Structure 1
């Protein structure tokens, strides 16, 4: 066997984790985070929310089922870099058409294998997510001080606006499946394919629009509802999306947001957001619905959260009526859901579409469907009243 090429993961605090080159060779930089999912690595890699991040998998064996053309969440791999302890040497699955190594090399993703992912995860859990770099092949031989200096030159995730890098360039539509009940305009901040399918399956024509969409362009589509997707970056750097959402709320258009969309709803309502020490990333996060007391196991991928009062109804600082926190993470009491009480709008911080699972929260899409139907019924009643109240013509 050929001698493995060296690689090293370098963190901005100077901690180094040696390993071997995997995927493309060279250097890459991003925020080092860890993901705890035991499965679904293809969905993780193609989730645009991971743009700008070097993902360390806590599960030791990655790549054992290969890669297929049915499960990607977007058009490419988005992670800035990838790390695993023991990538599988064999891809064995009836749907596999390529190996993980093939796709990492094809998309130019610099990875590292053979490192102590347990030690790296414990370090990030204690010290927090931080800037990092992977140096492989010839770049692994650079002077350690030079490698560290290169890492420290990189911008931090705080203040980063990354939605333009992952959003669609043009509007496209996915038609409703089954009986059509209306349409939804998705502002693509890093949308996942599973979300689009979940909405189409609820009878909605799905119009996916660029993150740069204006109010006029959005409402030219005559949407029954508006949806804000997941996505990468700092919500504090997305003032334009907050302003757009405030217009949506003012018009009383039904709204649903997930992940980044939850943070932007929080900002639109006047709440602050903040950066979590190491974030939530994985498919095993317990979240309680404060209204029902039901606990669900949910999929997460976020490094920022909303700062809002828990356990009581409050008047929103931005003047959009009353709101309440509806869901909370049981591990650390992070806000995981918001609901407006005087407007048809709600959001959750986690991923109810959750490919490759869990599916405890899929019912939230049904809740959104019901919201759209209720708004449509109200419009119909208002129109009928207006017709009845209109003066009738005739000869005197």
Structure 2
């Protein structure tokens, strides 16, 4: 089936919600205004249950269907949207641009939240399904901590969720196209930090110092050989650096340097190869240079795995909305999303919705494409009505 007529009717309202959220971005768990906005609307729609404070500032709404299940067993499906923004200065020039200096919705979470609110409005009106739809509005996805916090508060158990779904916009994919793949879809990530202790000194006497900047440069170069020489070329992995800090200038060789980056992989065994080889290279460079190098590693996202049955259900719903030819198989992505934790707790699937020819996510000029709203909202509705038929 195409876009639902009722969704087309609701589009101006959904767009207004999205623009309000866009103009008032909030970070991490500090999404109090957004949470209130979501909860107030869910109550207005007549949800059977609206619970706030799940995972600190998460919101959960429950809508019960009016049909009876054929087998008498109650089915419960969870739908997740993320609410938080990013610490990026907006450069879009939009009339509804961020009012909060240095913060913006540069990943489309404003659109995700608005689309799920639109689906909630429709589902609460029609209730044309059996069982229950649980609407999950998650904080702190960008920190990789929101899903874990909601799970710790008993998200799955308290609401009886049996399967769970997520959706994200995809810049570069045409509007009206959906993309998904079974199996590993998003990488697991590890955040690594290197603290290098050299020996400070004067530029005129470099032989009496151990330059931590030179040591850090060797680390950056040497660690790249892991991907080239130690990871099977058929597999996928990434190792990149995002910060390098050392010294104050003034003709002085610094005493310390700090370097940080991420490891990304789609298989746990590949992740372990990179980590083990990294430890060996760090030890070798420390011996050669005489520097002391301390390494700390923190697990960021786990690998996001789309379960077979839920992937097929998502594909069926997407085809109902967009047509057979507009649902494609996407390659795995080395980005991370903590929806992975929800899909580990319960069988689940994560689908992309085309955002058209927009800037990439996490870019100052990115903007969620509102033409995607009817497709995303209709997908959520069709997924619920199909799965809980």
Q: TM-score, normalised by structure 1?
A: 0.30
Q: Which has the higher strand share?
A: 1
